Amino acid sequence: MEQKSTFWKSAMMYGLYVGIFLTLYSVVIYVFGQSQNKSLAFIPIILYAVCIVPAQIYYRNNELNGTISYGQSVGFGVAVMLFSGIISALYSIIIFKIDPSLIDQIKAAQEEAYLQQGLSEDMIEKTMEMSAKMMTPAWLSIVGLLSTVFMGTIISLVSSIFVKKQPSEDAFEDAMEEVKNEE
């Protein structure tokens, strides 16, 4: 039972740190007017990896006494990104309320992408009408949360290969040796 409580507590704390870090990154991007810059869209993915791996290692070394299974490591990484995604979703709701023109910018970028794909004006208009229902702060925040968890899952699946550390095969003998030494 103790392990589960430290799991969620640690995941929440690291998720809070990652969420605040990524929110600060988003604020900087917003302040410099680069919210729609597609070349900056991949930086958060790198930041996720840079944040998940140390969190997994910290959890392994400090909460699980230096060992962690692949599944535990993946689960912890996903939980961290869940909490980070919640922080990011809250930021999204706030920023869309402060600056509703961001949604219009997203729509314009989407329409431009459709034009570049060669869709007809009629097809673009119909597609934009359908997608307009989903272009609300709440819906965009939910999609952002799900995207964050999805990317965190992919990164955790890969990073856990390197972070996992199984207990030694002689763990029982080591424990018995410690008991004998205590007597």
| Burial zone of 63 (CB within 10 Å; 0-12 exposed, 13-18 middle, 19+ buried) | middle
Provide the 10 A C-beta neighbour count for residue 113: 12
- Say whether pLDDT at 110 is over 60: yes
Give the per-residue pLDDT at 166: 83
Give the per-residue pLDDT at 5: 63
CA 88 – CA 58 distance, rounded (Å): 23
- What residues contact 131, with CB distance under 8 A and at least 6 apart? 107, 110
- Say whether pLDDT at 136 is over 60: yes
Give the per-residue pLDDT at 109: 82
For residue 152, name the pLDDT band (cuts at 50, 70, 90).
very high
**pLDDT above 90 coverage of the chain, percent:** 51
- Say whether pLDDT at 1 is over 50: no
CA 94 – CA 138 distance, rounded (Å): 10
Q: pTM of the entire structure?
A: 0.81
For residue 146, name the pLDDT band (cuts at 50, 70, 90).
very high
